[in-house]
Chains A and B, each alone.
Chain A
Amino acid sequence: MAFEGLPGLVETREAFGETTLVVDPARLVEACMSLRDEHGFEMLIDIAATDYLGWGAPGVSGYIGTATGRNLNRPMTQGLQALPAPKPKRFSLNYHLLAIQQGAPRVRVQVWLDDGEAVPSVVSVWPGADWFEREAWDMMGIPVEGHPHPERLLMDEDWEGHPLRKDYPLGGEPVRFSGEE
């Protein structure tokens, strides 16, 4: 599917059989309207937020091995750490869309945001986006402008912090092992 005329389109990427359209957040609603009306993506499947803080830094997610890892599927890379490609900003918000058509075309609309940068709400385009955007605010702290009901969804109303951020601790209790006594 050709997406050249999409308003606010920054980049198109194809990987693993999926199309990702990177869109400027300021023109997100226009782009979504165009995708819904002209390209037929009438169903919003998911809005997934990802925090890339610490992306590519060794030791972020490892107790054994590092975040960069050595790709065991590519031989002769030992000693050379394969660093992942750097990301433009800290947060990415991914809108997964589906067209109810032959072949089930899917597309991912991706916007990149800094900490605190707001994204316009797409509730006017797909009413089902309501709770997904609330969850993005609750879990990742991505403010959504124009959302009629911006409240926490999964955590308590008075919870502080955004749990799925990378600088938010996992929490829980330290587990005592009897062998350590």
Chain B
Amino acid sequence: MAVDRPKSHRLAEHGLQSERLLWPGKGPSEFEQELGDIESQLGLTTLEKAIAWSQTRSMWPDTFGLACCAIEMMSIVSSRYDIARFGMEAFRSSPRQADLLIISGRVAQKMAAPIKQIYDQMLEPKWVIAMGACASSGGMFNNYAVVQSVDKIIPVDIYVPGCPPRPEALMEGIIRLHERVQAGVPSAYEVGGVAK
């Protein structure tokens, strides 16, 4: 399965594959270049790279649909957008078995406590994607009832904008998360932030 990869890009030099490198001519994105810059400071060992590789290849999300974004999250499981090619079609119902929490939808004040409970029940390593405008920032609902961004409650790794984001946009967020993990960037809870 030999793919000709340009050897000039740092991630590739270190043996990590980004999906984008499978598309020749696409070139590294700014994000990857940034990752390349800090990567030399992180210094991953081969074992850590292998662990990171396997973490990204089967990162199971939790079935956490709140509102409209949940419908678009369901459609990434469908055959057109097919998240099974990333090994993620196994949406776990129990947070104990899940790696990824995709907060899809607006977070009401009443729901804040269950979200924190569910996040706490997940086992490390765990990642959070705030999907949609409401989870990222409160969206169009700047009022008494909606928590203005879920990162007030739990630490978030990736924010996916949109109302609702297209399934491709959510997959882009997931792929970026994979790239982050493979580059060795620690999860948001390790970096510190709102909650632990």
Chains A and B share a contact (CB less than 8 Å): yes
Interface hit among B32-40, B98-106, B138-146? B138-146
* Contact A156–B109 (Cβ < 8 Å): yes
Q: What 0/1 pattern do residues 82 to 96 of A give for CB contact below 8 A with B?
A: 000000000000000
What are 27 A-B residue pairs whose CB atoms fall within 8 Å in the complex? A154-B110, A155-B109, A155-B110, A155-B145, A156-B109, A156-B110, A163-B144, A163-B145, A168-B144, A169-B144, A170-B142, A170-B143, A170-B144, A171-B143, A171-B144, A171-B145, A172-B138, A172-B141, A172-B142, A172-B143, A172-B144, A172-B146, A172-B148, A173-B138, A173-B142, A173-B148, A175-B142
Q: What 0/1 pattern do residues 151 to 178 of A give for CB contact below 8 A with B?
A: 0001110000001000011111101000
User: What residue of chain B has the Cβ atom nearest to residue A171's Cβ?
Assistant: B144
* Complex interface: chain B residues within 8 A of A154 (CB): 110
Q: Which range contains the number of A residues in contact with the other chain?
A: 10 to 19
User: What residue of chain A has the Cβ atom nearest to residue B112's Cβ?
Assistant: A156
B residues 131-159 near A (Cβ < 8 Å) are 138, 141-146, 148
Nearest CB in chain B: distance from A96 CB, A: 24
A residues 59-89 near B (Cβ < 8 Å) are none
Q: A155-B110, A169-B144, A171-B144 are in contact. List 20 more A-B contacts (CB 8 A).
A: A155-B109, A155-B145, A156-B109, A156-B110, A163-B144, A163-B145, A168-B144, A170-B142, A170-B144, A171-B143, A171-B145, A172-B138, A172-B142, A172-B143, A172-B144, A172-B146, A172-B148, A173-B138, A173-B142, A173-B148
* Complex interface: chain A residues within 8 A of B142 (CB): 170, 172-173, 175
* Complex interface: chain B residues within 8 A of A156 (CB): 109-110
Nearest CB in chain B: distance from A154 CB, A: 8
User: What residue of chain A has the Cβ atom nearest to residue B113's Cβ?
Assistant: A156
* Complex interface: chain B residues within 8 A of A172 (CB): 138, 141-144, 146, 148
* Complex interface: chain A residues within 8 A of B138 (CB): 172-173
A residues 124-181 near B (Cβ < 8 Å) are 154-156, 163, 168-173, 175
Nearest CB in chain B: distance from A61 CB, A: 15
Q: What 0/1 pattern do residues 32 to 70 of A give for CB contact below 8 A with B?
A: 000000000000000000000000000000000000000
* Complex interface: chain B residues within 8 A of A169 (CB): 144
B138, B144, B148: most-surrounded residue (chain A CB, <10 A): B144
The CA of A156 and the CA of B141, in the complex, are separated in Å by 18
Nearest CB in chain B: distance from A17 CB, A: 33
The CA of A163 and the CA of B143, in the complex, are separated in Å by 10
The CA of A36 and the CA of B108, in the complex, are separated in Å by 37
